[in-house]
Structure 1
């Protein structure tokens, strides 16, 4: 799987968290882990480890997997990073983990745009879960057409990053070929370096996701809205029978 520069470039990975420090989207996942009494968890597409470390803070045994080596290095170096087993790779390469919970937060599910890679990821998640274990992930509802807001005017920010200085960034739409949407993020550092990262997301319909889950051997338990983005996200809870 190709790794986007925003996750794979060492300089961009190092500022990923300070550029997006507010993560209320993770609260619902944490609450679900508490509700289900999860003891072992797999965080697929763990990136810089924000959610995996939150899970570990609850006393959960966590494996975080991601193909971006630069992001994994950031995660491993964080306080408490030794409490998580970090793996640079793909979900379908994992051994059975007997996990109670597997998650794909934020853009992870949509970033797996290739249908074959998506099927392999679902297969890997199923193999990592114990019977009865739960897979939880979110995807933007394509009916909301959220990509129409991805313009420089709407997304332009300048963030003061400790030890780095001001970082200017914005997002611009590159192409819409539904269900695929491609966009470019531009980063300008105080020393004049300009870096860009192109990403493609797949906007799957609810029907498509439900079909993929069934074909992947999951039993759909529930489809929820994301509490922090009502009407814009679909959150799928699927159980390994």
Structure 2
């Protein structure tokens, strides 16, 4: 089941407003489609569909899959959404499909908190990637302890959303029992005073753990790059399917 921040319609409707419009974190993924000559892309955990629609605008064949129906409804309202195949569900529903590139952006790769969930997802990726194709995803470097900044003082934001009004948001750290970190995001809709919170848990895997899991699923690591939007804080893994 998706976290409330993605599944609650009111939260899904304002999700994009709390990110930079330029979304520099997505630029490397778009550049890699050209670097690797990928004509077809599957975006796992596509959320509100920004990456999927940007790729569709470049005439890529795109599949966006996500377990949160509310987020997908936001995605389908975007420009070029009609060129994307949207799937409501988990990676297990990708059986039988194929693509040159599979992506997991943002925190997607860290929402698989059990080894079983993670390995199952990697096996699905291995099956859908064409020979010579790639899996690309990012994870936070656990040694940087990003969760230490997850508090109201350092995370508070307020935005003005069209037809919705001002919305406040902040993050509170709830629990750290590595490799799991749990936090709460709180939203206040000033127009009617409604307060909605969403709890999430992420798993922080080490670089060596991820490399080992990719090798076990026959997705050897081709490269590990820096994330330009969080330099020195994240790893961008590129694994290549043999062929």
1:224 maps to 2:225: yes
User: Where do 5+ consecutive residues of structure 2 fail to align?
Assistant: none
Regions of 4+ moved over 3 Å? none
User: Where do 5+ consecutive residues of structure 1 fail to align?
Assistant: none
Q: How does 1:202-241 map to 2 (within 5 A)?
A: 202-241=203-242
Aligned residue number for residue 158 of structure 1: 158
Secondary structure, counterpart of 2:173 in structure 1: strand
Deviation sequence 1:180-225 (CA, Å, 0-9, x none):
0000000000211000000001011000000111111211101111
Contact 1:96 1:129 in 2 (8 A): no
Q: CA deviation at 1:172?
A: 0.6
Aligned residue number for residue 189 of structure 2: 189
Counterparts of 1:10 and 1:228 in 2: how far apart (Å)? Answer: 28
RMSD of the TM alignment (CA)? 1.0
Contact 1:92 1:125 in 2 (8 A): no
Contact 2:56 2:81 in 1 (8 A): no
Q: How does 1:72-83 map to 2 (within 5 A)?
A: 72-83=72-83
Counterparts of 1:52 and 1:7 in 2: how far apart (Å)? Answer: 16
Counterparts of 1:218 and 1:209 in 2: how far apart (Å)? Answer: 11
Aligned residue number for residue 52 of structure 1: 52
1:130 maps to 2:141: no
Counterparts of 1:83 and 1:28 in 2: how far apart (Å)? Answer: 21
Contact 2:24 2:228 in 1 (8 A): no
Secondary structure, counterpart of 2:76 in structure 1: helix
Aligned residue number for residue 120 of structure 1: 120
Counterparts of 2:20 and 2:97 in 1: how far apart (Å)? Answer: 30
Q: CA deviation at 1:114?
A: 2.1
Which range moves more in the overlay, 13-22 or 30-39? 13-22
**TM-score when scaled to structure 2?**
0.96
Counterparts of 1:100 and 1:71 in 2: how far apart (Å)? Answer: 25
**TM-score when scaled to structure 1?**
0.97
Aligned residue number for residue 65 of structure 1: 65
Secondary structure, counterpart of 1:77 in structure 2: coil
Aligned residue number for residue 30 of structure 2: 30
How many residue pairs were aligned?
240
